[in-house]
Structures are given as structure tokens and as C-alpha cells.
Chains A and B, each alone.
Chain A
């Protein structure tokens, strides 16, 4: 019987396979059409992201290796210095090129930009360049080396020339090194800055430390709340949820300012405490780490609560009952059957809170003190005050890289697809 049946099946198998291939093809075509349509629908958003988000970030990150100031304004000098071996002083022709191009740059209003760039290497460069350019205005010379040395003796210092040569290299590793508190010394080796001049490594570790602390505090505070939300009757749970959601919807700046009012020495909390006679001196709750942690925890708490809650909501109570009916005590049942099922939510919440903390700016700026500067604040100083956009780009690059690495690790451990809310 089997044989007789198998024969017709075998006979039909070729057209069936063709049919199937045909079907698959048309299915794939349809799918491609659909995805093209979907892409078209998403195109405005993608374009928007490309223009307003990805491109500016890419430009900023590119700045961390670009060094356009000196090559742009002093092209001849840049070329001349490439042939200089950094031993002794450069040749007389290089001096002549420098003199000519300094004057040109001053006339084109480009000298200030060059001076600012060089000042990042050495704080006397600006005054040296501007002074030289001013005096060059009226000078003619056959021996530029003597003339320049006459204007300022520092032009006979090989160190100054080495700085010029470093600044004439583009792309440059210097910003990326500076962002890690190191630089290339006169021997061409990477060396770290002395401890009292180091800023950024400490700021990076402080940023990670603050972010980790905030994440931990958020987790401890959020877990019971999320459990309550997931296990209360719907009516009460919805009301409680409102308390979580409303702050979540409120502007970050408003909430930070509210903490400012609450925490200050004459503020609500201190008045209350001293009114109750609990403290005699106002507690220092702000302009220090305490203020930063309180403010950031409060602002990031809803992310943690919602992430854990969304997972807890889907956990059936039967597991706990089963564990208890099998003899586990409530605590053991909770720890061994319930908690492991919430790991995905914990992971998602910790990831969100940690990554958001890394870039925090306003809250530590308002509530923190001298020892609580996070990396974003230093990036802002370099961007807005020092105009050192190269260094700002380098610091941002490290922040992006660190966040990406963290994302990768998290994705491996927990899986990013588990991120969801409510």
C-alpha cells in the first residue's frame, strides 16, 4: 500500500516543488513591497534623525581627530615643518614662511583661531603669536630668523617649534589623548599628566560611580513599588500608578528646581527637621553628592519602576503558590521562584537608568558641588567656555564608546528586545 501511494507522491513532487518555489518568490516579493512601503512611511523620521541627530553627532565626533586650524591658516609652514626632523631649529626658509604667513593670517582674521588652537598646547602660544604678528606688520627683513628672535627670544626655543609641528598634523591623536589626561611629550612618547593636572579620568570614573549608585538606589526603591503595582487590585494599582507617572511626565528642570527648593539650608526639609527639633544645624543636603543622588534617583526612578512592573505584571501567581504548596517558606518561594522571573525587568531597568545617568547634566549642575562634576558638565565647559570643540568631541567620543560597550554587554546578558514598558 505504501508503495502504491508513494509512487504518485513521487510523481507529483517536481511540479509541487516548483509551485512552492513560485509561492516563496511571490511571497518574498510581496514582503519586499511591504517593507519598501514601511520604509517609505518611516523615511521622514529617518531623514529627520539623519539631519538633526546622526550628522551633528558625527561632526562633533570627527572634531576629536581633526586639526584644521594651523594647516588651514598657515599652509606653507605646515608643509615646511613636515620636513623638519625636530632636532635643533628649523631652517631659515621655515622662519621666512612663518613670518609671511603669520602676517597673512593676521590680515585675514585667522590668527586668533590659530592662536586659540596653539594655546591649548601651551598657554604662552597665544601671546607669542599675537605679539609677533603685531610687530611683523612694520618689518622687512632678509634674515627672518634673527628678526623673529629679535621680536621674541622664544622663537629660538625648539619646544615652540615642536608645538607648531604637532598642531600642523591633521588628523591628530592629541585631543583623544588629552581627554585621557595624557599627551605626547617632546620625546614622542605618550605620557600621563601629573595628578594635580589630571581631570578627565577622574571625571569619567566619577560619572560611572554616580550612575552606578543611582542605579542601585533606584533598584532598591523601585522593586517593592513595582511589586505593589503588579499585585494590588486594579483600582488601587491604577491610582498608585498615577503617582509614578505624573512625575515621569513632569519636566526634568522643574523637578530638579523643586529639589533645589526642598533641599536648601532654609528649605522645606531643613525647616521641618529643625522645627521638629530633630536637628540643631541645617543638614547639608545639596551642593554635594547627597543632593546629586537624591535628585537623580527621583528623576530616574519611574524608568526603573515601569521596567520592572512590566515584567512582574506577566508573572502568574501560580508559581509562588506551587512553591509554597511544595513546602517552601514564603521568603524562599519569593527568592527562588519570583525574583528570578523578574531578572529581565531588573536588567532592563538598570540598563535604562544607568545609561541615562551617564549623560546627566542639569541635575548635578544644580544640586551638586565642586566634587560632583559629571563628564557632561566638563564637555559643556569645553564647548561653551573654552571653545575647545576638539576636546569636547574627544570626551563625547569616549562617552559614546563607553555607552556602546555597555549596551553590547547588556544585550549579550539580558537582551535588548526585553526592554518594554507597561
Chain B
């Protein structure tokens, strides 16, 4: 069955500025927004959604998911798409666009985009945040502090289980970095079959100590449970997640620290590694979101700024 592009059903999103100027939309309207949930959802809620609701009266139905295109593809095939805006990883945004699952953006409606990071606007998506992948450990549990990515792969120096996201993204890059590939050449090496084999071989060396997690909230949980001594994590979710874990579990003594080095992996240069806000039903919401990205401070999104100077705040400053 051919996949029906949503663009047919939901035409007319280019009236962004007009709609905004026209004042609040009907209060009854609600946009269905899908994000990655957890601390991240809380952040975007206070940074984008609530101000938008205040300005326009349009409310939100928030839904969380773990990424991937499966559910969206199923909805489009069934011709019953209930989502309006969706958070996607960049590769999914590109694939979803190619497959006609996402609606194309009228780039002119975005206004002046000269201060955007290069590559942050694609045919169907606009980058809403830049992220990197870090690893975190429990300071109370480790005698030797890991300081660089090699330590993550060194089970001699620091024994114990390691948490990794069940995805090749980031993980393969780390394996190559730890295997001595210079940062600039990671993607060149990874682009060859031999490079892939090399990355997997490095991963094999710690295979029995890896615990794979799938959703972002699992990473801090694994650390707090003591199931791993260190884990890959999302910095944003991690930062708040760690706080949340401390609060929820009532373990103020639990001290977690993020290791900054792999953060500089620069997955976030160009278009790779950008989270994208997908605009699907209504152009007005992403426009406001973008507007805020460029002009307003992000109290919510920048949580954890004080603790991690290179954390989310820094990255959002780039976007503004």
C-alpha cells in the first residue's frame, strides 16, 4: 500500500506569521505534541509550550515516545494521524521526510534564519535543540574517576557494568574514539566496512559488561540502582533525571557526575545529531517555538546549567 503523504491532508501551514498576528486561535484547539518524555518534556513544556498557550490560547496534548518512525508510519498508513508535531532524531526526520510521513515546511515562513546553526533546517523539520551524548558515573561508587572515553572501555582500570543506549548512534563513535581514532576521522573510518568491524570489535571487548538501555530515563535509574558503575546518558535528561532520581528516591547522598570529554564528540556539528521539531499540522506553533529559541531565555530547557557549564545552556545559546 502506498504511504499517503500527510501533506495532502493538512495543507496550508505557511500562514505562520498571519495566524500569529491575527491573535489567539480558538481556545478549544489543542495540538498533539510528541516528545521524548521525562525531564526533556518538562523542559520543552516550560520553554515552548506554556508560553505558546499563553500567547495563543492553544493548548497541548503531550505524549511521550522512545523515538523511531514505526508508530507514525502505522498512523499514516491507516490514514489516521493523531499527532501534530513530533520530536525526531535527525536521521528519522530525514527518512520520514523521504517516505512522505512528514509534511514539508515552507521555508520562507520561518523568516530570517541567518542566525541558525548550519544544517538545522531541512525539508520537513527544524532543529529544536542540539544535543550530545555524555557518560555519567556515581561519584560515591567509583574510587578511580573516569575522565575520558577510554576509561569507559577500560574494564581493567574501572571494573563494573556499563550502561549503553541500545542503538548504534553514538555508541559506535565512542568505540572508535576509544580505539584511538582521532575525533576528526571518526565518521570517515565509520563509513567503511573495516571501520564498522573495528568499532564492533572494540565493543566486543566490553561486551559482557554492557547493560543496554532504551529510554533516556533508564540511564540515571541504572546508576541510582547500582546496576552500572557508569552509563551513557543524555545530558539534558541526565541532568534533570539525576536530580529527579535524588529527589524521588530520597537519596540526597547520591552524587552523580557527568564526564565532559565525550560531550565534545561534536555530534552536533552540521546536521548530524540534531533533534528536530517536526511541524505537521500547524505552522504557527513551531514558528513560536523558533521565535523563542532565538530570542527568549530558556528557564526550563536550560535546567542544569549551573552544574554543567557545558550542558544544555551552552548549546541553547548557540541556537539563539
Pairwise interchain contact B68-A385, C-beta atoms closer than 8 A: yes
Asked if A383 contacts B226 (CB within 8 A), the reply is: no
CB distance from B91 to the nearest CB of A (A): 11
A370 cross-chain contacts in B, Cβ below 8 A: 207-208, 210-212
Residue in chain B with minimal CB distance to A369: B211
Report chain B residues within 8 Å CB of A265.
225-227
Taking a contact as CB atoms under 8 Å apart, the answer to whether B161 and A112 are in contact is: no
Contact B70 A385 (CB under 8 A): yes
| B78 smallest CB distance to A (angstroms) | 12
Q: Which B residues are in CB contact (< 8 Å) with A183?
A: none
- Give Cα A385 to B71, complex, Å: 10
Chain A contacts for B225, CB-based, 8 A:
264-267
In the complex, how many angstroms separate the beta carbon of A173 from the nearest chain B beta carbon? 21
B10 at the interface (CB under 8 A from A): no
A389 to chain B, nearest CB (A): 9
Closest chain A residue to B200, Cβ basis = A196
In the complex the two chains form, is A282's CB within 8 Å of B226's CB?
yes
* Chain A window 107-139, contacts with chain B (Cβ cutoff 8 Å), 1 for yes, 0 for no: 011111101100000000000001000000000
A266 to B138, CA, bound (A): 14
* A374, chain B: closest CB distance, angstroms: 15
Task: Across the interface, name the chain A residue whose C-beta is closest to B101.
Answer: A112
Among B1-9, B146-154, B269-277, B297-305, which stretch is in contact with chain A?
B1-9
- Residues of B contacting A267 in the complex (Cβ-Cβ under 8 angstroms): 225
Chain B residues whose CB sits within 8 angstroms of the CB of A387 once the complex forms: 68-70, 73
CB distance from B11 to the nearest CB of A (A): 14
Within 8 A of A (CB), among B223-267: 225-227
Nearest residue in B to A282 (C-beta to C-beta)? B226
Provide the bound-state CA to CA distance between A288 and B165, in Å. 17
Residue of B nearest to A109 (CB): B100
> Which of A68, A130, A287, A383: most chain B Cβ within 10 A?
A287
Contact B95 A116 (CB under 8 A): yes
A110, A116, A266: the one contacting B226 at CB < 8 Å is: A266
Q: Which residues of A contact B161 (CB under 8 A)?
A: 287
Number of interface residues of B (CB under 8 A): 26
**Is B97 interfacial (CB-CB < 8 Å)?**
yes
Q: How far is the CA of A369 from the CA of B206 in the complex (A)?
A: 13
Is B106 an interface residue when CB atoms closer than 8 A count as contact?
no
CA distance A55 to B3 in the complex (A): 20
B227 touches A287 (CB 8 A): yes
Q: What chain A residues lie within 8 Å of B226 (beta carbons)?
A: 264-266, 282
- State whether B3 touches A113 (Cβ < 8 A): yes
Name B192-223 residues within 8 Å CB distance of A.
207-208, 210-212
Contact of A296 with B by CB under 8 A:
no
Which B82-139 residues sit within 8 Å CB-CB of chain A?
95-101
B165 shortest CB reach to chain A, Å? 12
Does A415 count as interface, using CB distance less than 8 angstroms?
no
Q: Which residues of B are found within 8 Å of A264, using beta-carbon distances?
A: 225-227
Q: Which of A112, A266, A282 contacts B95 (CB 8 A)?
A: A112
- A248-294, CB < 8 A from B: 264-267, 282, 286-287
Given contacts A265-B227, A266-B226, whether A115 and B98 have CB atoms under 8 Å apart is yes
**Chain A residues, CB < 8 A from B208:** 370
Q: How far is the CB of B113 from chain A (nearest CB, A)?
A: 21
Question: Min CB distance, A103 to chain B, in Å?
Answer: 14
Q: Give the CA-CA distance A282 to B100 in the complex, in Å.
A: 51
| A287-B99 contact, Cβ under 8 Å, with A264-B227, A266-B225, A385-B68 | no
In the complex, the answer to whether A110 meets B227 with C-beta atoms within 8 Å is no
Residue A179, interface by CB 8 Å: no
Chain B residues contacting A111 (CB-CB under 8 Å) are 98
Contact pattern, A 366-403, Cβ under 8 Å of B = 1, otherwise 0: 00011000000000000111010000000000000000
Q: Lowest 7 CB-CB distances: which A-B pairs, in order?
A: A109-B100, A112-B98, A112-B99, A266-B226, A384-B70, A109-B5, A265-B226
8 A–B contacts, CB within 8 A, in A order: A72-B2, A109-B99, A113-B99, A113-B100, A265-B226, A282-B226, A287-B227, A384-B68
Given contacts A112-B97, A267-B225, A370-B207, 4 further A-B contacts (CB under 8 A): A130-B98, A264-B226, A384-B71, A385-B68
Q: Which residues of A contact B (CB under 8 A)?
A: 68, 72-73, 108-113, 115-116, 130, 264-267, 282, 286-287, 369-370, 383-385, 387
Residues of B whose CB lies within 8 Å of any CB of A are 1-3, 5, 7, 68-71, 73, 95-101, 161, 207-208, 210-212, 225-227
